[in-house]
Amino acid sequence: MTDLLKQLEQIKKTAAERHEKHTRKALCEVHQSEYIEDNRTASGNYEGECPLCKTERESAAMAELANLRRIKRIKQSGLPPRFHDRTLESYKATNPRQQSALEAVKSYVADLDGLRNGRSLLMIGNVGVGKTHFAAGVINELVKPDNKFDAVYTTARDMIRDIRSTWKNPDRDESEAIDHYAKTSLLVIDEVGVQYGSESEAILMFDVIDKRYGSRLPTVFISNLKMAEVKAILTDRIIDRLREDNGLTVQLEWTSQRGAA
Ligand SMILES: Nc1ncnc2c1ncn2[C@@H]1O[C@H](COP(=O)(O)OP(=O)(O)O)[C@@H](O)[C@H]1O
Ligand SMILES: [Mg+2]
Ligand SMILES: [Zn+2]
């Protein structure tokens, strides 16, 4: 019994000595901490990595991966590439009106509160004042590496054309097309009013908005028409739903910034 124990001790000792031979203490210059280099290469060098450095390297790689997934969701949104990098930070507010518009959009984003309320946003203003830039900013604020939110950007005309295209397509249901717009975390409908404004268009638009309203999902509407015209196009049924969820209207009343950025 004692012999067996002694043998066991010896085996442990030899293993420890062998390990010692193949390891070396090293100092991490970044962290000013000691660590063990435990890999002896064929050429007799010691190799190893500071565990703190390793953790940092791995979490940076994971963050990078998460960010790539986020960028993919932005690309999949249909937002034109020109606007992928447009954010609320890159928006320059050079006059009080722009400042208050920026504040309003920022407060809208804050109120989305991880999509807990279906609050919608209506932005109206002339061409070139930064409406689509703001929409890109909202998308970029919502779609983050640490969440799974997605977004769909479309013009009103493209959305209606897309849903209608299913009528002649046996492979795709109308309801499937509607769900693409109805189920996304955030829907941006740009250029409201550029569609033809027929009753069947209003009905399609309502189908999408009503489904989103039922799931308390937010929608951003953008138009360069006057408020009264926008209301007429969206119809009372949609306007009532926006109002009920405390919808926000932001009017961008200044001249074009195109080329100013
Ligand atoms: N205040 C601003 N700061 C930075 N860039 C801006 C600003 N306003 C507009 N832009 C830029 O000007 C161009 C036109 O804006 P855009 O959002 O397309 O206008 P709109 O959709 O209202 O027609 C875009 O490239 C946009 O990024
Ligand atoms: Mg635009
Ligand atoms: Zn280190």
Looking at the fold, whether 127 and 180 belong to one and the same domain comes out as yes
Question: Has residue 69 been placed in a domain?
Answer: no
97 and 197 both lie in a single domain: yes
The single residue listed with the structure tokens 């306007």 is 239
Q: Are residues 94 and 181 in the same domain?
A: yes
- pLDDT attached to residue 84: 94
Domains of the chain: total: 2
Q: Is 123 exposed, middle or buried (0-12, 13-18, 19+ CB in 10 A)?
A: buried
In-domain check, residue 38: yes
pLDDT computed for residue 224 by the predictor: 93
Pocket lined around ligand 1, Cβ cut-off 6 Å: 86, 91-92, 98, 125, 127-133, 257-258, 261
Residues with Cβ within 8 Å of residue 138, at least 6 apart in sequence: 88, 105, 108, 109, 121, 186, 188, 220
Task: Examine the pLDDT at 260 and tell me if it is beyond 60.
Answer: no
Q: Is 144 helix (H, G, I), strand (E, B) or coil?
A: coil
Q: Is residue 259 part of a domain?
A: no
d(CA 261, CA 241): 36
- The ligand that comes nearest to the alpha carbon of residue 28 is 3
The one-letter code for the residue type at 178 is I
Whole-number mean pLDDT of the chain? 91
Instruction: Inform me whether the pLDDT recorded for 251 exceeds 90.
Output: yes
- Stretch 216-230: mean pLDDT, rounded? 94
When mean pLDDT is compared over 7-11, 86-90, 110-114, 227-231, the highest value belongs to: 86-90
- Please tell me the distance between residue 16's alpha carbon and the centre of ligand 1 in angstroms: 67
Question: 138 near 152, Cβ under 8 Å?
Answer: no
Q: What is the DSSP string of 181-243?
A: HHSSSEEEEESTTSS---HHHHHHHHHHHHHHHHTT--EEEEESS-HHHHHHHHHHHHHHHHH
CA distances from 89 to 40, 85, 102, 125, 153 (A): 50, 10, 10, 21, 20
Instruction: Report the separation in Å between the CA atom of 119 and the middle of ligand 1, taken as the mean of its atom positions.
Output: 24
Are residues 38 and 86 located together in one domain of the fold?
A: no
Same domain, 86 and 38: no
β-strands 186-190, 219-223: how paired? Answer: parallel
Cβ-in-10-Å burial (0-12, 13-18, 19+) of 117 comes to middle
Give residue 23's pLDDT. 83
Tens of pLDDT along 114-170? 788 889 999 999 999 999 999 999 999 999 998 999 999 999 999 999 999 999 998
Calpha distance 1→204 (Å, rounded):
87
Separation CA 187–CA 112 (nearest Å): 13
The whole-angstrom separation of Cα 220 and Cα 186 is 8
CATH number at residue 220: 3.40.50.300
- For the chain, percent of residues with pLDDT exceeding 70: 95
For 55-106, the pLDDT digits (tens) are: 999 999 999 999 999 999 999 999 999 999 999 999 999 999 999 999 999 9
Residue 257 lies in a domain: no
Q: Ligand 3 (ion): which residues have CB within 5 A? A: 28, 30-31, 50, 52-53
Burial string for 48-87 (b: 16+ CB within 10 Å, else e) reads bebeeeeeeeeeeeeeeeeeeebeebbeebbbeeebeebb
User: Which residue matches tokens 């791995």?
Assistant: 58
| Confidence at 14, pLDDT banded by 50, 70, 90 | confident
33 and 84 together in one domain: no
Q: Are residues 115 and 240 in the same domain?
A: yes
Q: Are residues 32 and 94 in the same domain?
A: no
Q: Are 13 and 125 in a shared domain? A: no
64 within domain boundaries: no
pLDDT at 114: 78
Same domain as 185, residue 128:
yes
Sign of the C-alpha dihedral, residues 193, 127, 180, 250? negative
Kindly identify the ligand whose nearest atom is closest to the C-alpha of 259: 1
Residue with tokens 């062998």: 18
Q: Is pTM beyond 0.85 here? A: no
C-alpha–C-alpha distance, residues 261 and 246, integer Å? 32
- 140: domain range? 80-252
> Does 217 share its domain with 130?
yes
Q: Per the domain annotation, does 193 fall within a domain? A: yes
Claim to verify: residue 96 and residue 164 sit in the same structural domain: yes
